Amino acid sequence: MHEDVERILFNEEQILAGIDRVAEEVTRTYRGRDFTVVSVLKGSCVFASDLIRRIPIPLELAFVSASSYGAGTESGDLALNFFPAESEISGRNLLLVDDILDTGRTLARLVDELRRRGAAEVRTCVFLDKPARRAVDFRADFRVFEVADLFVVGYGLDFAGRYRNLPFVGALKKECYERSASTAR
């Protein structure tokens, strides 16, 4: 455990078992078809790298970067920092992978943008899903775990840039985000 973590929600063993399950669903969906896993940086890099190693069929890998401006644990305006080359999107079947589906704004925006840029098909896969917080109508095609409405860190998820390297998912102690409420995540 880590001194800033209130409690562990999912440990390493549970995470890998959950990913095995979703990797099988993804494999069934794409068997016999070309597809590209598009990992949304930075948060999904840990999840995406574990996920792709459990998918035994051919795939390509690409990255996009999305970050919300704004303070603390609320998401603000979205900045899409870069996209893969046109040739990596146009006419391709894309599986957009993110760390957590919260309000849904990030993925809704990215799906629209990738379709606008000519993707043949866009599906989504999230590590965590927080349905209680949804602000736009959005559903992921694949998800590993559902979580309650609380701020979590670890396994790629950060607070103010930290905790991404924790091998588990935990709830951050309240005093940790109240202490640094002015820092963007």
- The yes or no reply on residue 43 touching Mg ion (CB under 5 A) is yes
By CB under 5 A, the residues from 95 to 134 that bind Mg ion are: none
DSSP code of residue 43: T
- The yes or no reply on residue 156 touching Mg ion (CB under 5 A) is no
The distance of closest approach from Cβ of residue 171 to ligand 5GP in the complex, given in angstroms and rounded to an integer, is 9
Q: CB of 71 within 8 A of CB of 183?
A: yes
Catalytic residue among 4, 34, 99, 102: 102
DSSP code of residue 173: P
Q: Does the active-site annotation cover 129? A: no
Residue at token pair 């893969």: 84
The distance of closest approach from Cβ of residue 147 to ligand 5GP in the complex, given in angstroms and rounded to an integer, is 7
Q: Which is nearer to ligand 5GP, 115 or 162 (CB)?
A: 162
Q: Which is nearer to ligand 5GP, 39 or 106 (CB)?
A: 106
Interface contacts to ligand 5GP, rule CB under 6 A: 43, 75, 98-106, 151-153, 157-159, 185
Sign of the four-CA dihedral 148, 149, 153, 155: positive
Detail the DSSP E strand segments found in the chain. 5-10, 36-41, 60-68, 78-82, 93-101, 121-129, 142-146, 152-153, 169-172
Q: How far apart are CA 107 and CA 89, in angstroms?
A: 16
Window of 38-46, 51-59, 107-115, 160-168 that interacts with Mg ion by CB under 5 A: 38-46
Site residues for Mg ion per CB under 5 A: 43
> Active-site positions?
102
